[in-house]
Structure formats: C-alpha cells, structure tokens
Amino acid sequence: MKNHPRMPLRFYNTLTQQVEPFAPLHDNIVRMYTCGPTVYNYVHIGNLRTFTFQDILRRWLQVRGYQLDHVMNITDVEDKIIRNASAEHKSIAEYTEKYTQAFLEDTATLRLQRPERLVKATDHIPDMVRAIQDLERLGYTYQSDGSIYYRISKFPGYGKLSHNDFSGIRAGARVDVDEYDKANARDFVLWKAPKNDEPFWDSPVGPGRPGWHIECSVMAMKYLGETLDIHAGGVDLVFPHHENEIAQSEAITSKPFARFWLHSEFLNVEAQKMSKSAGNFYTLRDLRELGYAPEPIRYLLASVPYRKKLNFTFDGLKAAATAIDRLRNFKLRLETDRYPEGTNEKLVQRTEAAAQRFGESLDDDLNTAEALASLFEYVRDANTAMDAGEFRAGNIPSALELLDEFDRIFDVLRPSSSEAGTTDAQVESLIAERAQAKKNREFARADQIRQQLLDAGIILEDTKEGARWKRK
C-alpha cells in the first residue's frame, strides 16, 4: 500500500489545455486570485458552486502542505450596480454594502474559508488609474468620447487563454459593456466616461469609472506580484474577462500573468445555466427557507468534479442529505457502539487503501466524485464488518481518522447550529463590542464578532439606527 510513490498534485490548466503537476513558484505559498461576486444582488447557488470549488481547492492545497495567499475581489462598481442603486436612490456604497454583507454571510453559512484578502474595487481606483496611464504610455489605448479603450490588436497574445484566433477582427470596433461573446471580440473599455448623471470619480485620465477587467488585473498584481500561481473563476469568465486581464497585465509587465488558470463549469437547471438574467435561480436563502440545511447544499456543490456540469435538482439535494446522514450514522456507530478488543488487520488495510484513494483522487485535478466513492465503499465494507461482528476496537482510530480527512475538505459532518445557545443579553453585548470595534477601525475584530454571532444562528443587519438582529 505504502510502497508506490504518490503521483503529484495536478490541475487542468485552461491556458495550456493540459493537466499539469502543480507547485507554487516561490516558497510554500500559493499566490491565488479568484474573481469574486458583483454585489448587485444576492449570489445564487450557481455562483456558490464556483466559490465552493475554490474552497475545496484551498483546503486541498492546505492538506498538501501549502500556505495560501488568496485574494478575492468584490466588484462594487459596475453597470448593474449603478442602475439598481440609482433606482433605489442610494449611493453605490450604500447599495453594495448590503449585498457584500449578504455574500459574507452566505459563504460563511456554506463554510467557505475566507480568502486571506477580500478587496473592493472602489478602494483601488487610483491604482487602476495608474495602470491605465501605464497602458497609455505603452501605446495600448485610445480615447473616444471621453472613454479609454484597450486596443486588442496591439497585444499579440490576445486569444491565448480562450484558444481563439482573433487575428481577423476588425480593428477599432469597441464595446462599453463588460460582457460579450467570442464572436464579438472587441476593444474593451478601461475607463468609462459618465453618461447623464451617472456617478463618477475625478482622475488624471478624466472623470469616469473603471471597466470591470482592469480591476482584477490591478488588484491581483498589487497584492500578489506580477505572476500569480493560480487564477480561478467560472468558465464564463475565460472570455472576455480573463483574456482581457491577461492582455492588460502582460502588456504592463511583459511577464506571464498567471501560471495556472482554473475554471469551474456551470451549475445548470434543466440544461440551462443558472443565472439572474434567465430568472431560473435559487439563492442560498431560498433553499434555507425551503428547509434545506447548509450541509447538503455544500455537499451537493462539492460532490461533482469542478470541470463537469452540475445539474441542480431537489432530488440531488435530498440524496446529498442522505449521504451525509449515512456518514454521520457511521461516525456515531464508531463513537458509541462497543467492539471486541483487538484489531482486524484486513480492515486496517482496507482503511489505508480508502485513505490513499481518497487523496489520490483529489490530487487528480480535485476529483471529488472519485474521492467520495472511495469513502462510501469503505463505509459500506466497515458497516458490513460491524454487522458481522468482525469490526474491532483497534479499528476505530483509523476509521475516525479517515472521516476526519474527509471532513477537512468536505466539512459537512458537524450539523449547523440552528438553535442558538446564546442569550439575548450576550447577543446585545457582542453587538456593542462590534460597534466599538468598528469605531476603532478594528474591522477584523468586527467581522469576527459578526461571524461568531452567525455561527450561533444570529443574523445581523446594519441600519442607520445601528445593528438589528434576529435568530435564524
């Protein structure tokens, strides 16, 4: 069992279209950037599939001994945000704060690890303006009607991520919108002049706001350096967003922007991408209201390997809940039943084989389905052995260890506490402490308190009159 060398950790790289062994460039630290949410609404479970994939990726990198420096952006300025904010007569900041908090709550509910840095686009406008000036100086831009565009024909590598030949495109055709399809490869906007009474920032490149693509290039390089180890997002970001990020970053640095590009497939409903525009979406909150606990949702999102489409159904969600029950029951049986002394050697080997296959499956481009299969086959065999009186007390520790290994990644065995043991007075006192922390600009502490309350089933809502709270 232990005598053949382990295959290295490897990922499918969209850039090279190959599965490649992965190790970070420097030290033991994986420098990773993932595109975060556009905070104009609640995220749906399609978005959350992508963020869950990134959580599994984070956790597995840690199990394999790496530290993470993971940056995720919050897109808090963008066309839809501006449209919605103005419809509600709110400032961009007021409008996005609610959905940013909701995102943090939803991802915490799904037990997604917080990236080391969560950064907002609007906190980096001067950095973006400087990058646009760099691109201007290097001759990659032109102006039209007060907006600044990136001239894609200037960048020879344009198309290398999406594997498209764009050499025949019409020079000078341009778009203002951030999303468009491959058939319409266009010069894209870096800095957008305000129309009518749209909000804008004053800057050395004129009044306006940044395009979506420049935000990610700038924040990624600011915190992680010129070459990232991993850049990840959903498949819909390959083109144009990530292609444009490469064009911007590499034009400035002349270095490869990211070594590994990882893209997760869609979560679909009836063969259609779940999306806000199609109206076929569920938020985490919708599913919670329908009575589903976070664990089966997390399990369902994690159980399909990230490069396969995930077809969302309620049957699938119920099957996920059953799978978790099976594992929890097995664990309970290990912890509470009595077994004869001694060790069943055959079962020891069986456990080792399962643990090995579990790890090998995740090393293989995060094949979660295969990892789960190895665990469930083991649980079936162990249950059979228990029923037949062949399971021994000495087999308990390795069985629990395997469950632990599983739960370090999947994190579904602990039930979410829906009933808070926290008294109203304790909640009030934590909220007061949080308000003080915010006043002192100790935001990490304030976030920690919010999380602590959330873990206890308390939902906070910040209002002008202070924080309001309710039990989940």
Binding site for Zn ion (CB under 5 A): 35, 216
- Min CB(232)–ligand AMP separation in Å: 8
Q: Is residue 236 involved in binding ligand AMP (CB under 6 A)?
A: yes
Among 159, 208, 210, 234, binds ligand AMP (CB under 6 A): 234
Compute CA distances 255 → 32, 119, 155, 228, whole Å.
Answer: 16, 23, 13, 10
Beta carbons of 338 and 294 less than 8 angstroms apart: no
Q: Is residue 50 involved in binding ligand AMP (CB under 6 A)?
A: yes
- Min CB(221)–ligand AMP separation in Å: 19
Which of the choices ligand AMP, Zn ion, none does residue 41 contact, using the CB cut-off of 5 to 8 A by kind? Answer: none
Q: Is residue 266 involved in binding ligand AMP (CB under 6 A)?
A: yes
Which of the choices ligand AMP, Zn ion, none does residue 9 contact, using the CB cut-off of 5 to 8 A by kind? Answer: none
The sheet with strand 310-311 has its strands ordered as: 272-273, 267-269, 310-311
Which of the choices Zn ion, ligand AMP, none does residue 49 contact, using the CB cut-off of 5 to 8 A by kind? Answer: ligand AMP
Residue number, 50 or 395, with CB nearest to ligand AMP = 50
| Of the candidates 91, 39, 44, the residue with the CA atom closest to the CA atom of residue 277 | 44
Residue number, 32 or 35, with CB nearest to Zn ion = 35
Residue number, 94 or 179, with CB nearest to Zn ion = 179
Which of the choices Zn ion, ligand AMP, none does residue 216 contact, using the CB cut-off of 5 to 8 A by kind? Answer: Zn ion
Residue number, 98 or 326, with CB nearest to ligand AMP = 98
Q: Is residue 237 involved in binding ligand AMP (CB under 6 A)?
A: yes
Region of residue 216 (phi > 0: left; psi between -120 and 50: alpha; otherwise: beta): alpha
Q: Is residue 244 involved in binding ligand AMP (CB under 6 A)?
A: no
User: N- to C-terminal Cα distance for the chain?
Assistant: 47
> Tokens representing 445?
């502490």
| Of the candidates 451, 455, 367, the residue with the CA atom closest to the CA atom of residue 101 | 451
Half-sphere exposure (CA, 13 Å, Cβ side) for 193? 10
The mark string for 271-290 relative to ligand AMP (x by CB under 6 A, - otherwise) is --xxx---------------
Per-residue exposure over 197-227, b if at least 16 CB sit within 10 Å of its own CB, e if not: eeebbebebbebbbbbbbbbbbbbbebbeeb
Q: Report CA 150 to chain centroid distance, whole Å.
A: 28
What is the binding site for ligand AMP (CB under 6 A)?
A: 35, 37-38, 46-47, 49-50, 233-234, 236-237, 266-267, 273-275
